[in-house]
Homo-oligomer: A and B are copies of this chain.
């Protein structure tokens, strides 16, 4: 059987780009400039080219919309239902990316081919989405929470040097619950994945907090959170 003996599905990648801006979990969406779903918001994505791997395709999409290249990127799931695209049979491989607060500053969002607008949306105020992107996004959120509890992905949201309060804050935002400060610190420090720089954060008008760096591997499995406090 040759590869082209019968009709084949098309393949796209869609990428869920999360960041924490203004103490909220946000996702990057693009406004479609072509049918189908012209004028509607969607996850950034596009067809996989014949000469690029899936991950390369995801990175290319990420770069096209944001201009950045080095981020945490992970394959999420492959969605292959028959009716997900009105144009025909399209299978999409979802990826999710986490952007650090450092990179967020640098990013210049830019529309690209077939896209008339790009912007961040708070996960609490999402617009109606194209295709099955609402399901894909819901799945990504579930995975993100899980990853926060069981791995070290959280650090991909932080700059190189950060305070324990900043770390706790992002946990509280993503897990959507308050954590006890003493227990959180005890637990995190006991994991042996942080090293104190001896510097202190300088631009605050109160007791300056100590800065730490992460010494583990991002995404490594570590049981971070049991329940921790209230």
Contact of A120 with B by CB under 8 A: no
Contact of A88 with B by CB under 8 A: yes
The residues in A between 1 and 34 inclusive whose CB is less than 8 angstroms from any CB of B are 1-3, 6-11, 34
Name A's interface SS. Answer: loop
Nearest first, the 10 A-B pairs at minimum CB distance are: A54-B80, A7-B50, A78-B78, A3-B10, A8-B10, A78-B93, A50-B89, A3-B88, A53-B80, A53-B81
Contacting residues, chain B, for A47 (C-beta < 8 A): 1, 6, 8
* Contact assessment for B10 and A48 in the assembled complex, using a CB-CB cutoff below 8 Å: no
Binary B-proximity of A33-70 (CB < 8 A = 1, otherwise 0): 01000000000000111111111000000000000000
Contact of A114 with B by CB under 8 A: yes
Contacting residues, chain B, for A34 (C-beta < 8 A): 1
Given A3-B88, A3-B90, are A80 and B55 also a contact pair (CB < 8 Å)? Answer: yes
Contacting residues, chain B, for A6 (C-beta < 8 A): 47, 49-50
Given A48-B80, A77-B75, A78-B78, are A54 and B8 also a contact pair (CB < 8 Å)? Answer: no
Contacting residues, chain B, for A7 (C-beta < 8 A): 50
Q: Which residue of B lies closest to A146 (CB)?
A: B221
- Determine the distance from Cα of A93 to Cα of B80 in the docked complex, in whole angstroms: 10
The residues in A between 177 and 210 inclusive whose CB is less than 8 angstroms from any CB of B are none
